Amino acid sequence: MADVLKKVPVREQEPQVRAKNFDEVCLGYNKEEAMDEATRCINCKNAQCVKGCPVAINIPGFIQQVKEGNIEEAYKIIGESSALPAICGRVCPQESQCEGKCIRGIKGEPVSIGKLERFVADYALENDIKPVGAEEKNGHKVAVIGSGPAGLTCAGDLAKLGYDVTVFEALHELGGVLVYGIPEFRLPKHAVVKKEIEKVKELGVKFETNVVIGKSTTIDQLIEEEGFEAVFVGSGAGLPKFMGIPGENANGVFSANEYLTRSNLMKAFDESYDTPIVAGTKVAVVGGGNVAMDAARTALRLGAEVHIVYRRSEEELPARVEEVHHAKEEGVIFDLLTNPKEILVDENGYVKGMVCVKMELGEPDASGRRRPVEVEGSEFTIDLDTIIMSLGTSPNPLISSTTEGLEVNKWKCIVADEETGKTTKEGVYAGGDAVTGAATVILAMGAGKAGAKGIHEYLSNK
């Protein structure tokens, strides 16, 4: 019987073992463990956890079904709000959303909502439980740009309402950051992402890969020449930022996105693929977010000594606590309060080191975090052969610059209404990272849902 104050522990690969492989770190609950953990939910009438979930899953409802062992019923309840529960159960920041609001968390640990969601979703994938789709099509054609969580959710919701939906994806694989960004050891691609996308296909959504909107065709052409009555833009924020310091163009300097794409999408970690990647023997990842942790843990698994170089202290690290904890356990070294000044390059144009300075924290800045200030005379050099810049990303301006009347803000994010996804161009809706800048899977899914609702209202009234 579960201890009411503590989560039923979840099984994980041992740190020394997993630091050398790309298999999933967390092994999840089995049915017995899930049913045991579900008994900790007190089924609050005014459930705060639901308010903390951007797609408002009926959390107490599905957990009560798990408690009784009705896993298929639990999956149906989750499916009413989310098309990607096996993904969300793995990568959502539950500690600041549903679990952050759980009443159990006041005196002890919150209910392990994420791990229960993951258990139910994996059960549905293993047992091929089908999602419930529309009985017939309504004859309206909608285009969705991008197959990340925003696009997949919008497409799935519209298909459930009977729309004829086509998703256009620039890459050869579907899934957006779920396939090219988040590493295999946190989110398995074949066992989870592909299978969950199959469920969206089962709703009747069509997919066209290798179509770059803005180059292969444009939004205006989709509407004027191809008969699409509405378009949802879920093209993400994949354009990396750099520091602008000397030496940044050297061989061996990557953006985190490129490094992770080579490893995840192009399988550089798998010896049977010939994708080149500079594995490096000594790697520095500059930045302290989740993406930096993913890049660091990937480089570690490729055999390198890895340093996270971050200009603030541990308290300000933007990455999830769980990710920092896993990275430390696996042997990633944290060089905190450290800022790069210059990349040193050898005579062949390859990275040979990085000049850094030590920092201390001053007064809070506009973000509310204490501003890092350089310590005079603290310059030092680290020998390195690979540097991965993980400083954030912004939306690629290709779509906005090729679409008449689509307004963007100064960060090139598409201007769209939060409730409906409506943009400044008639019939065009948008959501996810393309609108907010880099955020989270579940926020992108929430925006995809809002976009589907907005498009449904628009086409119903047209």
Ligand X SMILES: Cc1cc2nc3c(=O)[nH]c(=O)nc-3n(C[C@H](O)[C@H](O)[C@H](O)COP(=O)(O)OP(=O)(O)OC[C@H]3O[C@@H](n4cnc5c(N)ncnc54)[C@H](O)[C@@H]3O)c2cc1C
Binding mask 292-311 for ligand X (x = CB under 6 A): --x-----------------
CA dist., res. 297 & res. 19, Å (int): 8
Calculate ∠ Cα 83-86-89, nearest 5°: 110
Q: Which residue in the set 22, 29, 123, 168 belongs to the binding site for ligand X (CB under 6 A)?
A: 168
State how far the alpha carbon of 52 is from the alpha carbons of 47, 61, 420, 442, 444, in Å.
Answer: 9, 15, 20, 11, 15
Q: Is 436 helix (H, G, I), strand (E, B) or coil?
A: helix
Please report whether residue 253 would count as binding ligand X according to CB under 6 A.
Answer: no
Q: Which residue in the set 49, 83, 92, 268 belongs to the binding site for ligand X (CB under 6 A)?
A: 92
Q: Is the dihedral of CA 279, 282, 286, 291 positive or negative?
A: positive
| Beta-carbon contacts of residue 150 (< 8 Å; ≥ 6 apart) | 232, 234, 236, 431, 432, 433, 434, 444, 445, 447, 448, 451
Nearer to ligand X, 36 or 329 (CB): 329
Q: Which of 55, 166, 51 is nearest to 453 (CA)?
A: 55
Please report whether residue 235 would count as binding ligand X according to CB under 6 A.
Answer: yes
DSSP letter, residue 193? I
State the number of CA atoms in the 13 A half-sphere of 353 facing the CB: 7
Nearer to ligand X, 85 or 353 (CB): 85
CB of 297 to ligand X, least distance (A): 10
Neighbours of 59 (CB within 10 A): 29
Please report whether residue 150 would count as binding ligand X according to CB under 6 A.
Answer: yes
Nearer to ligand X, 148 or 340 (CB): 148
Which stretch in 33-41, 54-62, 123-131, 233-241 sits in contact with ligand X by CB under 6 A? Answer: 233-241
**In the range 257-276, which residues lie near ligand X by CB under 6 A?**
260
Nearer to ligand X, 295 or 345 (CB): 295
Nearer to ligand X, 89 or 372 (CB): 89
Q: Which residue in the set 177, 277, 450, 455 belongs to the binding site for ligand X (CB under 6 A)?
A: 177
Nearer to ligand X, 137 or 392 (CB): 392
**In the range 353-412, which residues lie near ligand X by CB under 6 A?**
396, 398-399
Q: Which residue in the set 28, 79, 131, 176 belongs to the binding site for ligand X (CB under 6 A)?
A: 176
CA dist., res. 447 & res. 149, Å (int): 9
| Beta-carbon contacts of residue 123 (< 8 Å; ≥ 6 apart) | 31, 71, 72, 75, 129
Neighbours of 283 (CB within 10 A): 29
Nearer to ligand X, 67 or 320 (CB): 320
Nearer to ligand X, 92 or 343 (CB): 92
CB of 68 to ligand X, least distance (A): 30
State the number of CA atoms in the 13 A half-sphere of 177 facing the CB: 29
Size of the site for ligand X (CB under 6 A): 42
Q: Is 29 left (phi over 0), alpha (psi -120 to 50) or beta?
A: beta
CB of 225 to ligand X, least distance (A): 17
Residue 147 phi, psi dihedral angles, 5° rounding: -115, 30
DSSP letter, residue 213? B
Q: Which residue in the set 234, 340, 372, 427 belongs to the binding site for ligand X (CB under 6 A)?
A: 234
Please report whether residue 337 would count as binding ligand X according to CB under 6 A.
Answer: no
CA dist., res. 97 & res. 89, Å (int): 12
CB of 90 to ligand X, least distance (A): 8
Please report whether residue 446 would count as binding ligand X according to CB under 6 A.
Answer: no
Q: Which residue in the set 34, 170, 285, 308 belongs to the binding site for ligand X (CB under 6 A)?
A: 170
CB of 321 to ligand X, least distance (A): 12
Q: Which residue in the set 116, 296, 444, 459 belongs to the binding site for ligand X (CB under 6 A)?
A: 444
Q: Tell me which H or E stretch contains 321.
A: helix 321-330
Q: Which residues of this protein are in contact with ligand X, per CB under 6 A?
A: 91-93, 145-151, 168-171, 176-177, 181-182, 211-214, 234-236, 238, 260, 290-291, 294, 396, 398-399, 432-434, 438-442, 444
